[in-house]
Structure 1
């Protein structure tokens, strides 16, 4: 099948990526990253996966629902008292160990270089740093491994408030920030083919800022690195459609689809099955993949099923 000319181009910097056990062709594929938080105060699930067995079970459910990737968090981004590094390690490492051999990409959401070191040693394939390499040693840790790093835009010191953020042009400023932090990673020795960027929707941004980032996401994807969007159930979606946190699935999927059509290639989500279906539908419409089944109005000798990895 030929790719649709209406579809946004994938990343120009090494679109075919080997990340842990998986190979992605981001010129024609969207990876779905499932969120699993081992925190008692998580934004969406309010601690329902804080217990180790609950976190591991949630990860396996996400994989059964089609997730390509599991993102494990032991400390949330939002303001709050510091989580000791040893405690954060104790939260994330057992989940990583339980997922080894699952065939999924495993990432850890952390801004501590020491947590990243422990996570990589335990088998994590990606470090998802929501502070945009606030700690320069983070880039050194990743450079010394085979791991990929997600460079995210945010402005606040880790776990601190940043009230009423102001930007002249939020998209231009986010692009400039990401470019400078990518340069930091490159200078530390992280290869360009192991860098992903994330504009950081709602991170030190209000709803107007996040909507502008979504509207102009092609300016982020133009950096050339695979772009991750973490939109799932966020407040800019809730404020846009007047929905509470538990009732934002449809809005989240609509925002994810909009971003993919502008070149985003990784979507970080809570509601895995629904998002997987939406992403596979985009891929099929665009001609990037065959339909899973061809039966409707087909001759008997033309009926077929296609296996997708």
Structure 2
């Protein structure tokens, strides 16, 4: 799980955490509520995320949650110009479950395909195989844009782990290299708050699968329900979750509030002995 070249940049996940900024070109995303749906606003957010220290920028054209149908052509039209604008500023990730979209954005310079469906369409693995792109494999029960009320698990962490292992095997069987794979337990995706708190508490068991682990915890409902915090009052809870996930093995964190998260992540890296201080004057 050590060094990888991703989007032309080197990352050492043995001692480094990548901060992934979220930029959604959607009118119905759960947190930003369409604030970056307009192309001009999306491009502004990309520039700000890079200035705030984002290592990766994750661009989405279709939310996971249920909503109106978005055609493949429309999704490509939404994300492609943002990919082009972001590719020289940070590693570009595209949040998509469609192989057709993945093919276009990889050709345009995307270094990561973030498949929140967990390879529900195995052709996604075929699309990524043989390229330089990374593939994020995420746990969920339902297909994207589909309701799954009251999800049930006997042992949520064990079941998420089994799913991720099986999907990794599928990807490998279709030619995806081990050094292209990233796993994501899918915080809150078809999980209630108690489920998500448990997989977070036991995240080290999922990190032990052996691939870099992405934690997408930013402003999610498990934080809101735990703290009784409204949607836009969850930053402190998000930062606590980010730090806890890193200590438990996460190596990529996907967030809305980039500047605050970068500070929390870099401080955590320093406390873990991975990063020297920016300077030392105190009692020197």
**Which bin holds the TM-score, normalised by the shorter protein?**
over 0.9
- The TM-score, its normalising length taken from structure 1, stands at 0.91
Q: Distance in 2 between matches of 1:142 and 1:130?
A: 15
- Aligned partner of 2:177 in structure 1 is 191
Aligned partner (choices 31, 45, 53) of residue 44 of structure 1: 31
Q: Deviations over 1:86-129 (max 9, x none)?
A: 00000000001112322x11000000110101111111010000
Instruction: Name the CA distance, whole Å, in 2 between partners of 1:282 and 1:129.
Output: 27
Quote the Cα distance in structure 1 between the aligned partners of 2:46 and 2:88: 13
Q: What residue number does 1:238 align with? A: 224
1:228 matched to 2:228: no
Cα offset, 1:169, TM superposition: 0.4
Which of 72, 95, 100 in structure 2 is aligned with 1:114?
100
Match of 1:305 in 2: none
Partner of residue 289 from structure 1, selected from 275, 280, 283: 275
1:209 lines up with 2:195 in the alignment: yes
Query: Deviation string for 1:191-216 (max 9, x for gaps)?
Result: 00010000000000000100000010
| Counterpart among 128, 139, 145 of residue 114 in structure 2 | 128
Q: Work out the number of aligned pairs and report it.
A: 284
Out of 34, 43, 55, the position equivalent to 1:56 is: 43
Aligned to 1:273: 259
Other structure's SS at 2:250 match: coil
Matches within 5 A, 1:1-309: 14-102=1-89, 104-298=90-284
Highest CA radius of gyration, 1 or 2? 1
Q: Deviations over 1:257-300 (max 9, x none)?
A: 111101110000001011100010011111111100112222xx
Cα distance, 1:81 vs structure 2: 2.3
Distance 2:142 2:220 in 1: 18
Q: Structure 1 residues 115-124 or 230-239, which shifts more?
A: 115-124
Residue 21 of structure 1 and its aligned partner are, at CA, apart by: 2.0
Deviation of residue 53 (structure 1)?
A: 1.2
Scaled by the length of structure 2, the TM-score of the pair is 0.99
Does 1 or 2 have the higher relative contact order (CA < 8 Å, sep 6+)? 1
Tell me the alpha carbon deviations over residues 203-237 of structure 1, each in whole angstroms, 9 at most, x when there is no partner.
00000100000010011100010000000000000
